[in-house]
Amino acid sequence: MSYPGNITAPTEEWTIGRALARAACHLEQADIPRPDFEAQYLLGAVLEINRAALFLSLDNRMEAREAQRFSAMVDRRMRGEPLQYIVGQVEFWSRTFHLTPDVLIPRHETEFVLEQTIALVKGRFACPETLQLLDMGVGSGVIADVLAKELGCHVVGVDISPAALAVAAANIRRHRLDSQVALVCSDLFAALSRLRKFDCIVANPPYVAESEKGELADEVVRFEPEQALFGGDDGLDCYRRLIPESLTFLHPGGWLVLEIGASQGPAITAMLQHAGYTDVTIRPDYSGRSRFACGRKE
């Protein structure tokens, strides 16, 4: 790609305004939606300034080093790589999380599941800060991090992927939650002592059905980790193990909370009831899609 022109061209030519205009034009040609916004987002990340500051600097010249970095980022975006991986971070729950292609990009649905989980815990337990929670499939660490911050409790984050755990660890350190969050590499509960008990287990497991792969956006399939996305033929493989196994690791009266796929409510209800959970509830998010499931161990 030739953006923002030949990097060896005199740097003086490359004002921020001109660089933005050229980048937006290239992104538009590559069919990237919201090309202006994305160009601003990427250049803001390179210059480490927000959009307001960017607009106040349109006539400022860019350093060759900055132009080069920006050019490389625009290139990657033109090839379809998600913005969040290119800039290496994402906003979630009004907090900034470090991100690499080893972890799923956290979704808005998960913020809804967190809101519901926090309300459930605060409504059911007198002293949330004394609780022990488990985040199964911790990925970038967003769930463990937000629960530890909002509830003041202890959280164990588990993932099968060592690379994902490294990202989670960086986020936990960044937010100074090391004393509240411990991370464990494990295939579900395999590496945990059966004596370990939790008040609440929260999981956003891989739940996309292999048969739905063709319906996912191209950039999801090409760039996000398969292990974080797909849950077997019908998307339910992980829940089939997680729902019964969680009973061993919950205190009596403890809760299992799950993020689920929009069409999985009936199957998840049946699985939770069959395993013996009570108070089984499925709740739709603000767009009316079932996303939150929970059940209580008797």
Ligand X SMILES: C[S@@+](CC[C@H](N)C(=O)[O-])C[C@H]1O[C@@H](n2cnc3c(N)ncnc32)[C@H](O)[C@@H]1O
**142 binds ligand X, rule: CB under 6 A:** yes
Residue that the structure tokens 């030949």 belong to: 6
Q: What tokens does 49 get?
A: 């300034």
| Residue of 82, 205, 254, 295 interacting with ligand X (CB under 6 A) | 205
Segment near ligand X (CB under 6 A), from 13-21, 39-47, 138-146, 277-285?
A: 138-146
260 interacts with ligand X by CB under 6 A: no
Answer yes or no: are the C-beta atoms of 228 and 139 closer than 8 Å.
yes
226 binds ligand X (CB under 6 A): no
C-beta closer to ligand X: residue 69 or 240: 240
Q: Determine, following the binding rule CB under 6 A, whether residue 147 of this chain makes contact with ligand X.
A: no
Report the distance separating Cα 105 and Cα 217, nearest Å: 13
143 touches ligand X by CB under 6 A: yes
Q: Using the rule CB under 6 A, is 137 a contact of ligand X?
A: yes
Q: Locate tokens 């991090």: which residue?
A: 145
Tell me which of 139, 235, 254, 295 binds ligand X, using CB under 6 A: 139
Nearest in space to 203 (alpha carbons), one of 142, 259, 283:
259
- Of residues 111 through 130, those in contact with ligand X by CB under 6 A are none
**Whether the bond into 162 is cis, omega within 30 of 0:** no
CB of 292 to ligand X, least distance (A): 13
Return d(Cα 157, Cα 148) in angstroms, integer: 11
Q: What is the SS3 assignment for 291?
A: strand
Stretch 88-107 residues interacting with ligand X (CB under 6 A): 103-104, 106
Q: Would you state the torsion angle of the CA atoms of residues 226, 228, 234, 236, taken in this order, to the nearest 10 degrees?
A: 150
203 beta partners: 136, 258
For ligand X, give the closer residue by CB, 25 or 160.
Answer: 160
Based on the shown chain and the rule CB under 6 A, indicate whether residue 227 belongs to the binding site for ligand X.
yes
CA dihedral 202→113→224→243, nearest 10 degrees, is 40
Output 187 or 279, the one with its CB closest to ligand X: 187
235 binds ligand X (CB under 6 A): no
Residue ranges binding ligand X (CB under 6 A): 103-104, 106, 110, 137-140, 142-143, 158-161, 164, 187-188, 204-206, 227-228, 238
